[in-house]
Amino acid sequence: MLPLPSFALYAPTTLDDALALLRDHGPDTTLIAGGTDLLPNMKHGLLAPRHLVSLAQIPALRGVWVEGDVLRLGAMTNLETVAAHEVVLTRAAALAEAALSVGGPHHRRMGTLGGNLCLDTRCRYFNQTYFWREALGFCLKKDGTKCHVVEGGQRCVAAASNDTAAALLALEATIELVGPDGARSLPIRDFYTADGIANTTRAPQEIVVAVRVPLRPARASVYEKLRRRAAIDFPMISLAARLDAEEGRVNALEIAVSALAARPRMIRAASQAQGKSLAEVPRAAIAEAAFKECAPLPNIEGDPAWRKKLVRVLADRALRRLGLGPA
Amino acid sequence: MTGLVGKPGRRGDLVRRVRGEVCFTDDLRLPRMLFAKILRSPHPHARIVGLDATKALALPGVVAVLTGKDLPVRFGIIPWTPDEHSLVVEKARFVGDGVAAIAALDERTAARACELVEVTWEVLPPVLDLDTARDQPAIGLGASGKDNVSKVVDLAFGDVDAALRGSALVVEGDYHFEGTAHAPIETHCALARYDSDGLLTVWSTTQVPHYLHRELSRVLQLSPARIRVIQPPVGGAFGGKSEPFGHEMVVAKLAMVTGRPVKILLTREEEFYVHRGRHPMRMHFAVGAQRDGKLTAVDAKTDIDGGAYSSFGLVTTYYSGQLLTLPSFAPNYRFSSTRYFTTKPPCGPKRGHGSVQPRFAFEITLDKIAVELGLDPIEIRRTNAVPGNSTLNGMRITSNGYLECLARVEAASQWKERRSKLGFGRGLGVASSAYISGTNYPIYPNEMPQSAVQLKVDRSGVVTVFNGASEIGQGTDTLLATIVADELGLDLGCVRVVSADSDLCPVDLGAYSSRGTFMNGNACLMAVREVKHKLVTAVAEKLAVPPADVFVTRGFLAARGLENQAIPVDEAIRLAEARFGTLGATGWYKSPPGLGGSYRGGTIGASPAYSFTAHVAEVKVDVETGFVEVVKVWCAHDCGKAICPSLVEGQIEGSVYMGVAEALLEEHLVDHRGLHAGPNFLDYRIPTSLDVGDVEALIVESIDPEGPLGAKEAGEGPLHSSIPAVANAIFDAVGIRLDRLPFSPARVLAALEAKRSV
Ligand SMILES: Cc1cc2nc3c(=O)[nH]c(=O)nc-3n(C[C@H](O)[C@H](O)[C@H](O)COP(=O)(O)OP(=O)(O)OC[C@H]3O[C@@H](n4cnc5c(N)ncnc54)[C@H](O)[C@@H]3O)c2cc1C
Ligand code: SF4
């Protein structure tokens, strides 16, 4: 077996204790939720923290609450729960579909929403064993100096591979964090950055506490995932779309696409739907524009040209499912 | 026959397996046991200039270090091509080749110590594809050092050129297969103990304990009498465990050096490096036909990428041509196959050894011919079904259920009503094949039996079968228990099977070439019939009737007319033991002499019996994304006689799933640096339960005259034609020909676009 590096494990029962542990043990400390991303990465020598602070025993982080017109999901809620929750299913369907498409049943039982949001970016040259990466000559993101995806590239473009990110982006979610300086909230658009080495604006000692999803009347959303197998596989393209409609007209349409580079992107062309009747929405044109706006890289498996074409297909399917464009 | 043979039933250890009670090699723990790890080459081709293990040895917890010098004797499964060292002596030949081994108190320390071994390398030019292998002989990976050739086979039967010239139609094409891995759930594991009596015991996840025994003796220079090899239950093998491996030698040597038991468990990544997976092949086929569909000649040229070592390569090279001449074939045939060495993980046998790739090429060609001539693809196979009891390359046929296989899949799939009528995007395809039931000779030439069992008959009513065969999940233990129980009228629970332990069991050559049922079954039948004869004699004497009047039924032996005085089997055993002394018997199997052609290589591919298979696949192609869904596969397989039909169905289903996975998903890629493209189960994708369609297993029984109760094989045959059946179904669905495996959605979409643009 691949040996797991040794570490000390702490299981605080309150957020304050968790913050104190993060503070006391300094930079060599990492949070662990379900561990389904962290532990394989540790086995691959991608990180070897001496201290792990588990969030599993903190009750305040687990649960799904409806607070007025906001759906609030605790960071430690597992993906199985998220995918099966009635309000998520009916009012934030893209999130339910995205959560259900993560890994297999075991991953969804162990894996949490917070862990999914903070999933490390992925790359075929990075998510490998130490031996393999050494034989390759390592890379920018870890232990090395060059990028094998973009020749001569000085920036890591590993792919955001978390299924729920695109869904939550389309759903205009807000992320709640606490850190040494107290609590803060930020729109999920500001959570992700284009830096493949660390693609979130979360400070190392901050904890994601919850995700808030606004519940709007007449809102529909869908999620589409490209993968080779019907389970286990990370997305090769991840696409979510959200529609707000009133009296048969589009108030707003948003499309988020991920599994491209480090930052999920919003499709500009979605605004073409604004104000149109549902049947008039230029579905093909929007899908075509999405195809043009996205440039998949050879950072994850799958021919990039094919993945690019599939952006168009997935966009078309998502809009069709939302009842947009000609039947 | 007492009613067990031919009845559905579950395999003997099923419940224990599912409940985690089966003890695999890695479950074994011995007192004072050490753990080993192997340091592996990071270069595809490089010479060791210096190796310094001082720092590794100094690490607390490290007990011993081995390098190539400690194990200088070469080994290999084929006696004529021993070209592997347990650890690299001079040159590493692929990324992952073992260089040094560490034994330590725990696995983590051993792994850490590997990183402390300092190796200085002189990097040599790699050979990463067939063109380089052919065009740059100076790299010298071959035995002579003057080329990269592993084996060349050129054979011709009839006048191919004349026949092609005289054909109404010749279809030529190039076909490409990039290689696949076995992907067993249990990775290789071995444990060795060298005790104070000088006995070396090795437990290993092998499917050839006997060959391991021989090669351990050779490499360690230890008498075979001082070695015991035990094969615990295996968690999947598929051909990937059918030869001796360096790590088995390494733990044995480490146990001898340290005086402590030593275990090694390969990681998933290492599993991809030791490999022995299906060979990449580049095939050029030209097949001629007359207007009526009658084939005239087959001309095949195949380049085989063997990877770093010989493995079974000599046999693979022959099999790539020899096994094609059934079930539908031409009267003239020529093949030329060359296996090259490359600096990639070594290839070997995977379920359907050597013949799955050319089967893919040939069956698609046949489909092209049928379409070109406007013939039904099933009909063209009937037209060309090889008649009589011999093939053109001299293989003897003793039983043949081929036409019934075709008829069964034709009916079950509603071929006539549905082919080409399902609308654009959906289609049906057919393909067929044949396979061996064991090879007629042992790998090392000798006149001794190829399979044997010993029966111990206990007066409690329990019969134990000591059997050398390797149970690797295919069910040989259950098969033997069924044969014994059925002959003696016992409950299955009263037959124990002890397998694959060189101290306890007679020699069997191992679980390869689909030989288990045929050879072990025959050996077992021979032994149990001797026991049965004694029971019948003792019961006849007791009832004072002629032995011919005595018959065995479930639980009893009885005499005709005296059924009310029937004697329970355990009582019959006691009577026989009193009459004859301690009961037991041996049985063995040796294939009949003279099988195969009389030309050089004519015995390779010769088998005492051949199985036959036909597949029809139904696919759905998503023309927007390129995804192919195999909705259903009908597979009819002539296994001779289904002694355990549930096991036969299991083998058919498993074969089809494996074949469809190779058709759609699996591709064993090594990149331009010589690095494996992703030695893990996220990058190398095998299907999940959601990714496979329905399989309908149709059993055909031709009752082979020499098979045990008429049985042949079912373990490998049903894989072959599943792949071209899918390819041909894709053509029926959307009109594209895919001559390169796997049919990934990107390739399918590209082919669809290319077709639209013409
Ligand atoms: C075989 C396999 C297949 C997979 N397939 C998919 C897939 O299809 N789609 C997909 O999206 N994922 C997939 N995953 C990844 C993973 O299972 C999920 O993303 C899961 O949701 C991660 O959650 P976790 O709780 O296990 O995270 P962990 O592994 O515990 O943590 C992940 C990262 O997030 C940080 N973190 C966790 N919680 C918090 C928090 N509350 N605040 C701040 N930081 C935090 C951790 O420090 C760590 O860096 C797969 C994993 C495996 C092994
Ligand atoms: S994108 Fe480049 S730098 Fe980033 S992980 Fe991949 S190879 Fe490394």
Dump pLDDT digits (tens) for A307-323.
999 999 999 999 999 99
Question: Do residues A206 and A226 both lie within one domain?
Answer: yes
Q: Using an 8 Å CB-CB cutoff, list chain B residues near A229.
A: 665, 685, 687-688, 690-691
The verdict on a CB contact (< 8 Å) between B678 and A303 is no
Distance between CA atoms of residues B502 and B166, nearest Å: 57
Mean pLDDT of the region B182-195: 98
**Residue B324: predicted pLDDT:** 98
Integer Cα distance of B40 and A97 in angstroms: 43
Q: Which residue's alpha carbon is at the smallest distance from atom 4 of ligand 1?
A: A103
Asked if residue A132 belongs to a domain, the reply is no
Name the minimum distance, in Å, from the CA of B751 to any CA of chain A.
12
Q: Are residues A68 and A209 in the same domain?
A: yes
- Show the tokens assigned to B379: 């009909």
Per CB-CB distance under 8 Å, the chain A contacts of B625 are 226, 310, 313
CA distance, residue A212 to nearest chain B CA (Å): 32
What mean pLDDT do residues B369-393 have? Answer: 97
Out of A2, A229, A313, the one facing B685 most closely (by C-beta) is A229
Output A327 or B274, whichever has higher pLDDT. B274
Nearest partner of B519 among B612, B575, B418, B438, judged by Cα: B438
* A172 located within any domain: yes
A247 CA: distance to closest CA in chain B (Å): 32
| pLDDT at residue B265, rounded to an integer | 98
Buried b (16+ CB within 10 A) or exposed e, B412-426: ebebeeebeebeeeb
Determine the structural domain holding residue A8 and report its residue range. 1-59
Identify which of B42, B624, B678 has the shortest CB distance to residue A313. Answer: B624
B758: pLDDT strictly greater than 90: no
Burial category of B757 from C-beta neighbours within 10 Å (exposed 0-12, middle 13-18, buried 19 and up): exposed
Measured between beta carbons, the chain A residues lying within 8 angstroms of B675 are: 132, 135-136
User: How far does the centroid of ligand 1 lie from the alpha carbon of residue B108, in Å?
Assistant: 25
Give the minimum alpha-carbon distance from A45 to chain B in angstroms, rounded to a whole number: 12
For residue B5, is pLDDT > 90?
yes
| C-alpha dihedral sign at B264, B265, B268, B274 | positive
Rounded CA gap, B265 and B204, in Å? 10
Asked whether the beta carbons of residue B746 and residue A306 sit closer than 8 angstroms, the reply is: yes
The CA distance from B753 to B745, in Å, is 12
pLDDT of residue B441: 84
Residue-wise pLDDT tens digits, A37-64:
999 999 999 999 999 999 999 999 999 9
Write down the number of H helices and E strands in chain B.
20, 26
Instruction: For residue A1, give the nearest of B42, B107, B749 by CB distance.
Output: B107
ipTM of the complex: 0.96
Average pLDDT over residues A283-312: 97
Pocket of ligand 1 (CB under 6 A): A 30-38, 40, 55, 75, 79, 102-103, 107, 110-112, 114-116, 118-120, 161-163, 207-208, 232-234; B 682
Q: What pLDDT does B11 receive?
A: 86
The answer to whether position A244 is within a domain reads: yes
Q: What is the pLDDT of residue B147?
A: 98
Q: Ligand 2: which residues within 6 Å by Cβ?
A: A 123, 125-126, 139-141, 147-149, 156-158, 196, 299
Instruction: Give distance in angstroms: CA of B585 to centre of ligand 1.
Output: 60
Which ligand is closest in space to the CA of residue A175? 1
For residue B440, is pLDDT > 90? Answer: no
Q: Give domain status of residue A174, yes or no.
A: yes
* Residue range(s) occupied by CATH 3.90.1170.50 in chain B: 25-124+185-236+241-274
pLDDT, tens digit (0-9, with 9 covering 90-100), for B673-697 = 999 999 999 999 999 999 999 999 9
B676 with A231: Cβ contact below 8 A:
no
Interface probe for A, chosen from B185, B268, B270, B675 (most Cβ of A below 10 Å), is B675
Substitution target in B128, B625, B684 with the highest count of A β-carbons within 10 Å is B625
CATH number for B281-441+596-757 (one of 3.30.365.10, 3.40.50.2000, 3.10.20.440, 3.30.300.30): it is 3.30.365.10
Whether A202 and A222 share a structural domain: yes
CATH at A51: 3.30.43.10
Q: Give the ligand with the smallest distance to the CA of A19.
A: 1
Domain with residue A108: its CATH number is: 3.30.465.10
Please identify, among A59, A89, A104, the residue that sits at the C-terminal boundary of a domain.
Answer: A59
A19 and A76, same domain (yes or no) = no
Residue B1 in this model has a pLDDT that exceeds 80: no
Do A22 and A108 fall into the same domain?
no
Q: Quick one: pLDDT at residue B435?
A: 98
Evaluate if pTM is beyond 0.95. Answer: yes
What local confidence, expressed as pLDDT, does residue B12 receive?
84
In angstroms, what is the span from residue A291 Cα to ligand 1's centroid? Answer: 28
What is the rounded average pLDDT for all residues in chain B?
97
* Alpha carbons B468 and B452: distance in angstroms, whole number: 7
- Which H or E run includes B425? none
Homologous superfamily, domain B25-124+185-236+241-274: Aldehyde oxidase/xanthine dehydrogenase, a/b hammerhead (3.90.1170.50)
Structure tokens at A62: 């687990």
Nearest CA in chain B to A317: B624
Q: What atom in ligand 2 is closest to the CA of residue A126?
A: 5
Is A233 close to B42, i.e. CB distance below 8 A?
Answer: no
Q: State how far the Cα of A257 lies from the Cα of A170, in Å rounded to an integer.
A: 9
- Does residue A94 form part of some domain? yes
pLDDT per residue as tens digits for the range B560-602: 999 999 999 999 999 999 999 999 999 999 999 999 999 999 9
Model confidence band, residue B419 (pLDDT cutoffs 50, 70, 90)? very high
Taking the centre of ligand 1 as the mean of its atom positions, its distance from the CA of residue A98, in whole angstroms, is: 14
Q: Give pLDDT tens digits for B241-261.
A: 999 999 999 999 999 999 999
The answer to whether the Cβ–Cβ distance between A306 and B95 falls below 8 Å is no
Model pLDDT for residues A81-112, shown as the tens digit of each residue = 999 999 999 999 999 999 999 999 999 999 99
Those residues whose C-beta lies under 8 Å from the C-beta of residue B161, and which sit 6 or more positions away, are none
Question: Do A108 and A40 have their domain in common?
Answer: no
Under 8 Å CB-to-CB from B757, ≥6 apart: which residues? Answer: none
**Number of domains making up chain A:** 2
Task: Specify the 3-state DSSP secondary structure of A27.
Answer: helix
Q: Are B528 and B449 in contact (CB under 8 A)?
A: no
By alpha-carbon position, which residue is closest to atom 32 of ligand 1? A115
**Ligand with an atom nearest the CA of residue A82:** 1
Same domain, A223 and A284: yes
Class of domain B449-589: alpha beta
Mean pLDDT of B119-135: 98
pLDDT average, residue stretch B482-493: 97
Query: Is the pLDDT assigned to residue A269 strictly greater than 80?
Result: yes
Q: Can you tell me the mean pLDDT for B301-321?
A: 98
Say if A175 falls within a structural domain.
yes
Q: Classify B408 as helix, strand or coil.
A: helix
pLDDT tens digits along B8-51 = 998 888 999 999 999 999 999 999 999 999 999 999 999 999 99
Q: What is the pLDDT of residue B10?
A: 86
Identify whether residues A181 and A298 lie together within a single domain: yes
- Nearest Cα of chain B lies from the Cα of A135 at a distance, in angstroms, of 5
Q: Is-contact A92 A171, C-beta < 8 A? A: yes
